[in-house]
């Protein structure tokens, strides 16, 4: 009878629990750990530090130390210091985002080991987590990362991502099968939804738990594209994830997962110790940049306490360089100020404030065809590049603007923002200037670019593709010919294919030029390359899939970077000499998906093959 009663109670309790769980977002999880990882040290990642901290979470930020503050795309060292001060982990990502599988052994070692040394010299400790640029790794890269002192290295992919790698496990094991190849779901980006991120977590929770490492790059508020994640969606995901701690789902940094520990919170102030408030120019200190020296004041409470401070990063309680505060003092360069007050009741735990000062404007270099501009006329159109740089440790370049009509770009309505190299086909007076994040404005520079008059081509033709599509390694039997976009990326690879029927070039034509123009729905820095390869013709977009795609032939050209929301040019002149069918494939050296408009898109964005030639005599 007692066993029967116990059984009935168990059944009733099980039924009640079942009813409660259906009201929860997922069934209870065991040993599910989520890690937030952020690649490249992009400036748009900076606000995520506070967003995570506000939810009691910590993330891992993989930094390219050689690119920090080099332009407005990247965080500055003071910003990264503030990220670390909030309890987040700082990891390595090579000096300059180098593909370790293609670099020489000496270059690869310098990129990995020197990057870690730079981070340690900035005061970050421990620096034990690494992420492969472009998610590219092999056994040699894994051994190198280990020899440089890292305890883990993260790649991208090989975890079930709903529609990609559907046969893969739902989470990485703890500890990982290979600590130097930590697997992840597909990275977040403009096409990843809130439901996708939630599903990555609940899939792990409902399949025995494990480690779900989420990968983020840029962040945006509107008009997101490429690998950028919508900030509002990210915050909604944090709101959703936070209460799941009651189900057993934890958030940890990569380093904490690998070490089995948890980053300890800052120690509380000693009982009875005084507290110190800091002010800058008589008001609250800003987290931004100042263009002039700052007057710093320290106010201890209760009155009568002694306050000491340092400007060299040492502990003001014990350092021989500590100064006893008497009155406001001036800080004229970027400084991490540490301060602490004491009285008979105790000594305050030191506090730190980063005071960021940049009083020098950036400088802009104007180059022609990759070098110094000639003082004599060019015989062909010139590719003009503008390269802006801020001082070492400065706030970073915010923007560069230029004019081609000789007007002053600092005030002219014809000034345009610089995004990529642009052609100059006639003699032009070019003027340009840059500003930095702190607001310093460079005096405009002037460059006369002389180009001899160019004869007009005898013939021209613009074609649209007869077929275009893309193939996906993760879905090898799917067709995509009816879609409005063409996708490319490495890793879980996607290739874009286009086929044209060239007709109209007269026999005997010379000087044939061919330019493939693709409208990009995604941006990409110049470190990401997009090779164009010749492939066989005869396929159709209705039947093209990964399993029957033409093999890649010779490389026709390679384009560095992409401009979002504009046509991007690829040179195919060495492919076309006359009439006939031609086909090409576009690939990418980066694991992040990029999107081009297909022939099914609106007319203003469809692919174009632009041809020109000189007619025979």
Please, which pLDDT band fits residue 167 given cuts at 50, 70 and 90?
Answer: confident
- What is the per-residue pLDDT for 127? 94
* C-beta of residue 567 within 8 angstroms of C-beta of residue 420: no
For the stretch 274-302, pLDDT in tens is 889 999 998 888 878 899 999 999 999 89
Residues 6 or more apart whose Cβ sits within 8 Å of residue 528: 134, 560, 561, 562, 588, 589, 590, 592, 594
Reduced 3-state DSSP string for 187-199: CCCCCCCHHHHHH
pLDDT of 267 over the 70 cut:
no
Q: What is the mean pLDDT of the chain?
A: 89
Give CA–CA dist 345/350, Å, rounded: 16
User: What's the rounded mean pLDDT across residues 89-101?
Assistant: 95
The CB density around residue 54, as the number of other CB atoms within 10 Å, is 12
pLDDT of 603 over the 80 cut:
yes
Reduced 3-state DSSP string for 355-418: EEECCCCCEEEEEECCECCCCCCECCCEEEEEEEECCCCCCCEEEEEEECCCCCCCCCCCCEEC
Residues 6 or more apart whose Cβ sits within 8 Å of residue 274: 300, 301, 302, 305, 341, 342, 343, 345, 346, 348
User: What's the rounded mean pLDDT across residues 436-456?
Assistant: 88
* C-beta of residue 343 within 8 angstroms of C-beta of residue 302: yes
Element (H, E) at 257: helix 254-259
- What is the per-residue pLDDT for 334? 87
What's the distance, CA 47 to chain centroid? 14
For the stretch 197-210, pLDDT in tens is 999 999 998 888 99
User: What's the rounded mean pLDDT across residues 463-485?
Assistant: 95
Give CA–CA dist 117/472, Å, rounded: 39
Residues 6 or more apart whose Cβ sits within 8 Å of residue 315: 338, 340, 350
pLDDT of 570 over the 70 cut:
yes
Please, which pLDDT band fits residue 9 given cuts at 50, 70 and 90?
Answer: very low
User: Angle 192-589-45 (CA atoms, 0-180°, nearest 5)?
Assistant: 45
E strand spans, 508-579: 510-520, 524-534, 555-562, 566-571
Give me 538's structure tokens: 């005869």
**pTM beyond 0.75:** no
Owner of token pair 């390359």: 529
* CA dihedral for 351, 57, 592, 157, sign (positive or negative): positive
Please, which pLDDT band fits residue 457 given cuts at 50, 70 and 90?
Answer: low
R_g (Cα) of the chain, nearest Å: 29
Provide the angle, in degrees to the nearest 10, between the axes of the packed helices 194-205 and 231-241: 30
* C-beta of residue 555 within 8 angstroms of C-beta of residue 533: yes
Omega cis (within 30) before 9: no
């Amino acid at each position: 009878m007692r066993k029967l009663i116990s059984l009935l109670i168990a059944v009733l309790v099980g039924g009640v629990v079942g009813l409660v769980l259906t009201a929860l977002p997922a069934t209870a999880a065991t040993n599910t750990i989520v890690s937030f990882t952020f690649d490249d040290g992009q400036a748009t990642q900076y606000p995520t530090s506070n967003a995570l901290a506000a939810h009691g979470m910590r993330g891992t930020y993989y930094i390219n130390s050689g690119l920090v503050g080099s332009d407005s795309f990247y965080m500055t060292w003071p910003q990264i210091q503030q990220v670390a001060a909030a309890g987040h982990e700082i990891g390595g990502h090579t000096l300059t985002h180098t593909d370790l599988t293609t670099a020489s052994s000496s270059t690869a070692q310098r990129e990995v080991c020197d990057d870690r040394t730079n981070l340690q010299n900035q005061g970050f400790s421990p620096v034990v987590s690494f992420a492969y640029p472009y998610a590219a790794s092999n056994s040699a890269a894994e051994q190198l990362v280990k020899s440089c002192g890292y305890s883990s290295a993260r790649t991208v992919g090989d975890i079930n991502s709903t529609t990609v790698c559907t046969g893969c496990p739902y989470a990485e094991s703890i500890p990982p099968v290979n600590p130097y190849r930590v697997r992840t779901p597909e990275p977040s980006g403009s096409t990843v939804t809130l439901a996708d991120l939630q599903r990555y977590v609940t899939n792990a929770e409902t399949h025995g738990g494990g480690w779900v490492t989420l990968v983020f790059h840029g962040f945006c508020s509107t008009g997101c594209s490429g690998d950028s994640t919508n900030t509002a969606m990210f915050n909604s995901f944090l709101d959703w994830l936070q209460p799941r701690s009651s189900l057993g789902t934890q958030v940890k940094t990569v380093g904490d997962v690998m070490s089995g520990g948890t980053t300890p919170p800052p120690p509380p102030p000693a009982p009875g110790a005084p507290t110190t408030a800091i002010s800058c120019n008589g008001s609250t200190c800003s987290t931004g940049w100042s263009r002039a020296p700052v007057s710093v004041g320290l106010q201890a409470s209760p009155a009568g306490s002694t306050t000491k401070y340092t400007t060299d990063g040492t502990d003001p309680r014990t350092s021989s360089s500590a100064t006893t505060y008497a009155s406001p003092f001036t800080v004229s360069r970027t400084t991490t100020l540490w301060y602490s007050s004491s009285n008979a009741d105790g000594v305050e735990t030191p506090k730190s404030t980063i005071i960021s000062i940049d009083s020098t404007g950036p400088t802009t270099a104007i180059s022609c065809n990759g070098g110094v501009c000639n003082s004599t006329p060019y015989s062909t159109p010139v590719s003009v590049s503008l390269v802006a740089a801020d001082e070492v440790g400065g706030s970073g370049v915010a923007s560069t603007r230029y004019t081609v009509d000789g007007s002053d770009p600092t005030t002219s309505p014809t000034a345009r923002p610089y995004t990529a190299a642009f052609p100059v086909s006639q003699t032009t007076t070019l003027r340009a200037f840059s500003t930095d994040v702190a607001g310093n404005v460079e005096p405009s520079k002037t460059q006369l670019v002389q180009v001899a008059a160019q004869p007009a081509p005898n013939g021209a033709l613009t074609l649209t593709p007869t077929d275009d599509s893309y193939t996906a390694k993760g879905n090898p039997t799917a067709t995509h010919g009816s879609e409005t976009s063409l996708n490319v990326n490495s890793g879980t690879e996607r290739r874009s294919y286009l086929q044209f029927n060239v007709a109209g070039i007269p026999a005997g034509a010379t000087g044939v030029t061919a330019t493939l123009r693709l409208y990009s729905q995604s941006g990409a820095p110049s470190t990401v390359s997009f090779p164009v390869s010749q492939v066989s013709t005869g396929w159709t977009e209705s039947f093209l899939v990964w399993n029957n795609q033409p093999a890649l032939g010779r490389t026709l050209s390679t384009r560095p970077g992409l401009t979002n929301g504009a046509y991007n040019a690829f040179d195919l002149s060495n492919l076309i000499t006359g009439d006939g069918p031609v086909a090409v494939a576009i690939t990418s050296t980066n694991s992040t998906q990029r999107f081009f408009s297909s022939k099914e898109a609106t007319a203003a964005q469809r692919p174009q093959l632009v041809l020109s030639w000189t007619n025979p005599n």
